[in-house]
Amino acid sequence: MASPASTLPPFAPFLTAELRAQIQPDEWSACTAAWTSLAEAHLALPDAEFAKRSLTDDSIPAFLSAFSEEVGSASPAILGVATGVQLPLRRAVFDLTKRMLLHPAKGKSVAPAVQPLLRWEFFADLCRVHSKGLVVDLLVALPATQRAALDASLAALKKSLTQDLDAGLANPPQKLRELEGRLDRLNFLLARFPPAGVFLLAGSDFLDGLIACFRPTNPPLRRVLVATTYLCVAGLADTGSGPAAGPNGSYGPLTDQLYALKAAADAHRAGPTTADDSLVAELVTSTPLLGHLERQLGKNQSAAAAGRAKAVLKELATFRKPGVGLRQPARRLMRKKVDKGKGVAVDLGVPSNEMHIHRMQQITQVQDLFPELGSAFIAKLLDEYKEDHEQVVAHLLDDSLPDHLQSADRSEELASNTGHRQPAVTKSIAPPPPRPAQVPTRHSIFDNDELDSLTVDASKLHLGKQNPGRTADDILKDRSGAPNKAAILSALATFDLDD
């Protein structure tokens, strides 16, 4: 009779969104149950059998990578209804991932099934699916051989990103969209694991690339650049020169990066472009970076160690944009209406979409840093921390939310409350097929020109005045564009006087 280990089948690939939309809910439930059973069967193997069977099965890393990518891009809700703290499949997949990554390597070689998992993309998707505490504990416990492979993946990413950031608009449009997607994916790893930001900020090439790419690029990429810069600098304060370094830790690396930001802001202010094109001005205005760094510096018991950093923070605060990031205006006092129970019945607990514009701005600022969070969950966080979005971001980074918020649905969105009871909706595990967006078509005289088709030569584009040193006297002295007198006389001679 064959042993259970020898009869374990390979993992079937995790279904993509297109395939999930084509199957019935009961079929999808059967798939998740089969994957859960197979993962638990691998976890039940002894260490010797696990190393022999699981660490040589090529279908396991393919399934784990596809699972993290698909669930991270959609939401854990596609896995079905949770039983207890988390979903059975998600719990089994994380336990299997942890056992494979933490399995001791033989010498300096990594197991064949573990090598594909030691990529920054996999850990970034892992941060989107699981909580910060689980992922951080896993990354900290990685053996030296596995950690070296992950550092090599981050080093290759840093080199590639720096080249694309320095190129800026010289990149084709498709490459700019790929750059935005890679940075957005990387931000999940930076938010959960601050040492990754410390690794990227080693040296000045990566930060210089972020600053250089910000000015001539599009607004969506700008938001991602601001979020990446914030997470890297905040991670440097939290890890390399923050509490992890002790009460008297060194703030030299953090101070050097702050001086680099200040130098870039000074150079931008002296140039011909506006403050809207400055990464530093946007960073200190739309993110809680200054407040977060001040709190980290306040934890240090040595005033001399944090004195230089605090001085640079005061200078960076002068680059805030006027009229943005001000305190919330005082609300008008309104008498509460007495509820007599005579209105149309509405669903209790459904928040209204008629919110104060300041609340929507705060939700947007938090979602720029944590795009995976739903608006309703962020609204609960703002209620918990008294409308202070800086406290919300700080507690999200530290993963120190209260228990009732830790177990809440982080992808919950605000629903409109029209005052009428909504009909019951049948829940389906498989997501519905996407509907085409009904966006009005724009027509103008600039359609299909060089800028519209993105075929314009980058040498024709410039920021501000094309020649800011040229004066009116220089223009009058320049006769290269003046009309030729002989040409005018010959043109007049062609006219018939009788005409």
- 325-379 pLDDT, tens digit per residue, is 434 445 565 666 666 656 555 444 444 444 567 788 888 888 877 877 888 888 8
- Indicate whether 178 and 261 sit together in one domain: yes
User: What is the full DSSP assignment across 362-429?
Assistant: HHHHHHHH-TTS-HHHHHHHHHHTTT-HHHHHHHHHHT---HHHHTS-TT-------SSPPPP----S
In terms of phi and psi (left: phi > 0; alpha: psi -120 to 50; beta: otherwise), the region of 349 is left
What was the pLDDT predicted at 99?
A: 94
> For residues 58 and 113, what is the distance between their CA atoms, to the nearest angstrom?
6
> For residues 370 and 364, what is the distance between their CA atoms, to the nearest angstrom?
10
Could you list the residue range(s) of the whole structural domain that residue 384 is in? 357-406
What was the pLDDT predicted at 72?
A: 87
What was the pLDDT predicted at 335?
A: 64
- Indicate whether 68 and 174 sit together in one domain: no
Low-confidence ranges of the chain (pLDDT < 50): 1-5, 82-86, 242-248, 325-329, 346-354, 417-426
- Indicate whether 188 and 299 sit together in one domain: yes
- Indicate whether 180 and 77 sit together in one domain: no
Cα 59 to the center of its chain, rounded Å = 29
What was the pLDDT predicted at 83?
A: 46
> For residues 32 and 37, what is the distance between their CA atoms, to the nearest angstrom?
9
- Indicate whether 176 and 84 sit together in one domain: no
Query: In terms of Cα–Cα distance, which of 208, 349, 347 is closest to 279?
Result: 208
Instruction: Answer yes or no: is 442 within a domain.
Output: no
What's the one-letter identity of residue 281?
A
- Indicate whether 25 and 96 sit together in one domain: yes
- Indicate whether 9 and 98 sit together in one domain: yes
- Indicate whether 310 and 170 sit together in one domain: yes
- Indicate whether 307 and 394 sit together in one domain: no
Residue ending a domain, among 310, 326, 342, is: 326
**pTM of the prediction?**
0.66
